[in-house]
Structures are given as C-alpha cells and as structure tokens.
Amino acid sequence: MGPDELPPVTVRALTEAWDTATRAGHAGLAGPPLGVRFQPADGDQIHVLLADPDLRCWSRALAREVRLDTPRGMSLCLRLIGLIGLLAEEARLADFFRPGRGGAPWFHPALLQSAARLPLGRDGGFDRERFLASLPPLSG
C-alpha cells in the first residue's frame, strides 16, 4: 500500500490528533526520526522520513494514541502533518484557521473536511492546488 492508497479519516480523529500534537509540542516531547516504508502495488518502494524536530514530536505523540503501523494511524499522521504544512505555507488558508489564544483553535469545517477526506499523494502529502480548489470561496 502506498501513501496515496491510505484511507480517509474522520474530522473528529483529525481534530483529536491536532490536540495531541499541540499538547506534545507544549510539553517539548522529543523522539528519534520516524522512517516509514510503503510498498505500493506497483512494486516501487516509497520512503518517508519524518526527521524535523516538530514532526518527530507530533508523530511520537500520535504513536502513543493510535497505531502508526496501521493504514488508519499512518493516514491520520500524514494528514495532520500535511495540514500543518499547508497552514504554515499557504497564505490563502488564513481565513480558514484562527490560532487559539489560551484555548482551542478555530478551523473552518471545510478545511477539516478536505484534510480528512482528500487523497494523499505518493509522497504522503496533499496536492496543494487540489486542496485549495476543494475549499469554498469565503466572502470578506
């Protein structure tokens, strides 16, 4: 199974994963890099390495909550990381997310639905343009 064959997850699971990663970040959880090897049906192995300190923190925290050696667990981890990456890099998502100030962040429901349901690419991430196209236009 390749990353692009991983199943969708529920919005609830994704928001719980966000909360888990946030708590781990505040606690300064650290861990070794996480390497994942996918074996798609076409036979070409795909390696994904989560070596960045933040990625290691979040994946280690999720590993305590869900089994990352299952398609669902790995899908949840990669979707969370993909969502965080898009929020950090894509200015067009600013209206779909508000960081929490002493509380939980606000997510536009369509943002979470897209992150939970859109297929992942062979690299384990989201197709940026497809993700953005899945979101509704927001009026000023």
pLDDT tens sequence across 3-26: 899 999 999 999 999 999 888 888
137 in a domain, yes or no? no
Q: What pLDDT sits at residue 25? A: 86
CB 82 within 8 A of CB 115: yes
Give the end-to-end CA distance of the chain in Å, rounded to a whole number.
42
Q: Give pLDDT tens digits for 82-116.
A: 999 999 999 999 999 988 776 678 899 999 999 99
114 in a domain, yes or no? yes
Domain housing 11: 3-131
Least confident window among 47-56, 73-82, 129-138: 47-56
What's the pTM?
0.88
140 in a domain, yes or no? no
59 in a domain, yes or no? yes
138 in a domain, yes or no? no
96 in a domain, yes or no? yes
Share of the chain above pLDDT 70, in %: 96
- State the Cα–Cα distance between residues 126 and 79, nearest whole angstrom: 8
* Domain total of the chain: 1
- State the Cα–Cα distance between residues 127 and 125, nearest whole angstrom: 7
Is the pLDDT reported for residue 68 higher than 80? yes
Determine how β-strand 46-50 pairs with β-strand 34-38: antiparallel
